[in-house]
Structure 1
Amino acid sequence: MLMHPGWDPVAVRIGPLAVHWYGLMYLVGFALFVWLGRRRLRHEPYRSLGWQPRDVEDMLFWGVLGVILGGRLGYVLFYKPLDYLADPLQIFAVWQGGMSFHGGLLGVLIALALWARRHGRPWLQVMDFIAPCVPTGLAAGRIGNFINGELWGRVASPDLPWAMVFPGAGPLPRHPSQLYQAVLEGVLLFVLLWLYARQPRRLGEVSAAFLTGYGLLRFAAEYFREPDAHLGLLSLGLSMGQWLSLPMVLAGVVLWFWARRAAR
């Protein structure tokens, strides 16, 4: 049984300015997106279509807006709608935490749909481009959660060698589910998608692989993650994260068959 180090969530203090580890992990994720995106330009059909590095940087800007706005609004609507309805001004208190991946995903979809329309590019072509570049950013975010000692896992057996006691989570050992998610939704999903996307694929297939892969891996990881205290487990003993992942899997499967049919 291990003890969480209890790191200070603030990485650097410069006078009144405090730089948090979680914010730094966001920056790491954005930097990885640019680095991978420039290498993605070498893949077909983007190399033949003349995509440029400035396209990657431009998409990042729009994607960041989508992540922040969508992630915050998703958390408000999916996890604490009544709390924020009672005090709407708290919606803007983003420094207090509260972001939803599924909301952030919807925000990115909308933001990049606008970018695609503005630049005359097929939306699914844009989504196929960014899909393999996203998981490393997800891994960075989960590492940030681990450093902060938040979003810990469910109670684990003391015999589990990597079971960990987290500050604020009581004396019982728990699964370090943040690291599980970093490995599954981050590293593993990145490797699979990157290898898959290196070869020319039908329009929409890479996006479909991302939706299905993330949805399944997140669904599995949620069995080790402690449900949100104010929600607990919902219908059928599933967490909110699992219920939000099911539509992703369904959308991915539908998109996959649509892509194959459209290509024929």
Structure 2
Amino acid sequence: MLAYPNIDPVAVSLGPLKVHWYGLMYVIGFVGAWWLGRKRADRLGLKPDDIGDMLFYGALGVVLGGRIGYALFYGLDRLLENPLWIFQIWDGGMSFHGGLLGVLLAAFLFARKHRLAFFQLTDFIAPLVPIGLGAGRIGNFINHELPGRVTDVPWALVFPGMSGQGRHPSSLYQFLLEGVVLFAVLWTVSTTPRQRGFVSGLFLVCYGAFRFVSEFFRQPDPQLGFIAFGWLTMGQLLSLPMILAGVALIAWSRHNGIDDARVRQTG
């Protein structure tokens, strides 16, 4: 077993001002998406400066959707007991699945504003998302969050306050799958023009599958435990509809989607 690295969650401390690593991970995610998005802005007929506007919409979707989703999916009892708890962002967390719904709503509004097809925009956004996902998992690791299940593998880590038992570094597994691998797949596939909806569907399938698998190594949320059949977690239940929706979207795009390459050629 390996000792958990003693990393201070506070990256920079200047008097009363403290900058946490987790917050910096959000910055890295948005800056990375902004930089790569500017490189491909011409694909949407947008100016590079429009990408900042797009990310503003996306940031609102992530924060509002993520918090509301966490309250509904992981803290419904607390929300019903005290509705104001949803504003106590320091108590609890954020839900990826809620954040995804928030980003989709933000994408719909941005697409209407700039007269873009919805799936044309989501195909553009999908390869940018894993940057933030991967950075966020590194933030989880630094904050001693998302401890893994007990294991005796050689790379098991002893998490602080977890009875000295070796556990899977599940947040690092998710960093590799949801961050590195997902980005490599989506960025490579999106390099070649595809029919609208294909890249979005691939994102749903891959993320849903990666999340479903990684949950087997992650400790269930303590307030929920296993949700179904004695082994399914909330994260897995929420990922199943993603996979099904992704398969349906890929099938639709292949048979009915607009070929963006042809659209570009005809202007």
Shorter-chain TM-score tier: over 0.9
Which residue pairs with 1:8 in the alignment? 8
What secondary structure is seen at the aligned counterpart in 2 of 1:62?
A: helix
- In 2: Cα distance, 1:125 partner to 1:54 partner: 18
Q: Which amino acid aligns with 1:128?
A: D
What secondary structure is seen at the aligned counterpart in 2 of 1:179?
A: helix
Which residue pairs with 1:142 in the alignment? 137
Checking the alignment, whether the CA contact within 8 Å between 1:6 and 1:167 is kept in structure 2 is no
CA distance 1:263–1:30, shift in 2 (3 Å): closer
What secondary structure is seen at the aligned counterpart in 1 of 2:49?
A: helix
Aligned-pair distance for 1:56?
1.4
- In 2: Cα distance, 1:257 partner to 1:127 partner: 16
Within the alignment, does 1:259 sit opposite 2:267 as a pair?
Answer: no
Which residue pairs with 1:90 in the alignment? 85
Counterpart pick for 1:220 among 206, 209, 213: 213
Name the TM-score, length of structure 1 as normaliser: 0.94
Name the TM-score, length of structure 2 as normaliser: 0.93
Which residue pairs with 1:242 in the alignment? 236
- In 1: Cα distance, 2:161 partner to 2:66 partner: 25
CA distance 1:161–1:260, shift in 2 (3 Å): same
- In 2: Cα distance, 1:55 partner to 1:187 partner: 26
Aligned-pair distance for 1:90?
1.5
Aligned-pair distance for 1:97?
3.9
Which residue pairs with 2:176 in the alignment? 183
Within the alignment, does 1:166 sit opposite 2:159 as a pair?
Answer: yes
Q: How many residues align?
A: 257
Moved more, 83-92 or 66-75: 83-92
Counterpart pick for 1:123 among 97, 102, 118: 118
Q: Percent of pairs identical after alignment?
A: 59
Q: Which amino acid aligns with 1:168?
A: G
Gaps of 5+ in 2: 259-267
| Root mean square deviation, CA, Å | 1.3
What secondary structure is seen at the aligned counterpart in 1 of 2:13?
A: strand
Moved more, 30-39 or 184-193: 30-39
Superposed CA offset, 1:42-98 (max 9, x none)? 6xxx1xx53221221111000000000000000000011011211122211112341
What secondary structure is seen at the aligned counterpart in 2 of 1:96?
A: coil
Aligned-pair distance for 1:16?
2.0
- In 2: Cα distance, 1:148 partner to 1:6 partner: 10
Checking the alignment, whether the CA contact within 8 Å between 1:6 and 1:148 is kept in structure 2 is no
Checking the alignment, whether the CA contact within 8 Å between 1:9 and 1:20 is kept in structure 2 is yes
What secondary structure is seen at the aligned counterpart in 1 of 2:90?
A: helix
Superposed CA offset, 1:1-53 (max 9, x none)? 111123222222222222111001000101110111122336xxx1xx53221
Which residue pairs with 2:21 in the alignment? 21
- In 2: Cα distance, 1:97 partner to 1:24 partner: 19
Gaps of 5+ in 1: none
